[in-house]
Chain A
Amino acid sequence: MANSRPEPSQEAEWIRRCQSGEKEAFAPLVDAYQRRIFAIVFHLVRRRNDVEDIVQEIFMKAFAAIESYNSQSSFGTWLNRIAVNHCYDYLRRQRSSRVTYFAEMSEEGQRQIESQSQSHEEGGLNSEDKLAVGDLVWKLLARAPAEDRVILTLKEIEDRSVEEISEILGLKLSTVKVRLHRARKRMVRDFEKLAGGTVSHAL
């Protein structure tokens, strides 16, 4: 399991060999990028048991599409794009089969989350409280539209720049900024609904 970034010339050679049908040349690329893809998939999907299967599917998709890779972006970015699109589809499938956004939830569901959030409201935020807020934010993120979840994860959890996000998602910079602001506003609104501002005051 190497996982260190390969030399660009070496990487280009592996890609060229894959494109000419030599599938063994794909193995070092899997070795080099698997950790990065594991991280991005975990942050987006957050289901430890599913991550490995999803990453396998992503690498299979990448191999099937490698002929279309034309070096316009780095191989890493290209692979990230495949990973994000795959996770996006996965999240949409998950979303369609579950209760979703807080605003769309039943009253009982809302009360359940509220009781979890209120148990962490009192007092200042120590490390445990921060974990609780993390849990709460995760619950909100899990119920957010897949589009919001992807863009927020890339920016706030993966800490990627707006430029990188625009390259991965294939969107204009201005579009990324607008969507990011909209998604953040929605998160804040739902957070306030849940915590009633008490958690934020404690900060």
Chain B
Amino acid sequence: MRCDTVRQMLEEGVEISPSLRVHLDSCSACREYLRSWQAVRAGFVALGVEAPPEPSIGFTTRVMRRIGSAAEELQFGQQFIDQIGRRFVYATLMVALTLLLVLLLPSSGPFRSSGVSESVLVQTQVATVSNEQILGVDGVDSGDSAEYSTASGRNGGPAMRGSQ
């Protein structure tokens, strides 16, 4: 007989048969296990003797009240979803859809005319040309830039190249 089988039998409180007795006589570990198990068992019995607490007066009423209030909360939750929650969901969906359309629309097309972007380009070119004139790239300053270079030249500024 294997020790584990013997121990399982001892735990279940089976009557000690002659074969079990032979094993116990020859196996001190199983004898020790039996003693320890009996002590643990006595502890369990002692625990079982202690009486559980009694339900206090009005226990059922309190349970039913809690069940009632839980049902009301559930009902309120459902009403909220029906009345406000659904509208909120629709509004959120609309916002999300609008954002999606804005992101998906092409940069040119019927909703974004190319004229707008072209006029912006023209303005940029004009601005670039006038800046070049102001800095005197072609060696001839305009009147305003001459005044500016003279004034700067007196201060030893960057327009010294124009006075040379």
Contacts and interface: CB of A to CB of B under 8 A. Distances in A.
Contacts of B48: 43, 156-159
A152 interface: yes
A30 B56 CA distance: 13
A201 interface: yes
Interface string B29-63: 00011011111111111111110111111011011
Q: Which 3 A-B pairs have the closest CB atoms?
A: A134-B46, A137-B43, A42-B52
Contact of A134 (B35, B47, B64): B47
Contacts of B40: 137, 184, 187-188, 191
A125 B46 CA distance: 12
A51 B63 contact: no
Interface stretch (A31-39, A83-91, A94-102, A165-173): A31-39
25 contacts: A1-B55, A23-B71, A26-B64, A43-B52, A48-B53, A56-B62, A60-B63, A130-B43, A130-B46, A133-B42, A134-B49, A137-B43, A138-B47, A156-B48, A158-B48, A159-B48, A181-B7, A184-B11, A187-B40, A191-B40, A192-B32, A199-B39, A200-B32, A200-B38, A200-B39
B66 interface: yes
Given A1-B60, A52-B53, A137-B44, 9 more contacts: A24-B64, A30-B60, A30-B64, A43-B52, A130-B42, A135-B43, A157-B47, A159-B48, A191-B39
Contacts of B68: 23
Contacts, number: 130
A63 interface: yes
Contacts of A195: 36, 39
B26 interface: no
B19 interface: no
B56 A52 contact: yes
A60 B53 contact: no
Q: Which bracket fits the contact residues of B?
A: 35 or more
Contact of A38 (B46, B55, B60): B55
Given A26-B67, A27-B64, A197 B32 contact: yes
Contacts of B55: 1, 34-35, 38, 52, 55
B59 A1 contact: yes
B148 to A, nearest CB: 78
Nearest to B33: A188
B70 interface: yes
B113 interface: no
Nearest to B34: A200
A187 B47 CA distance: 15
A141 B46 CA distance: 13
A203 B71 contact: no
Contacts of A134: 42-47, 49-50
A5 interface: no
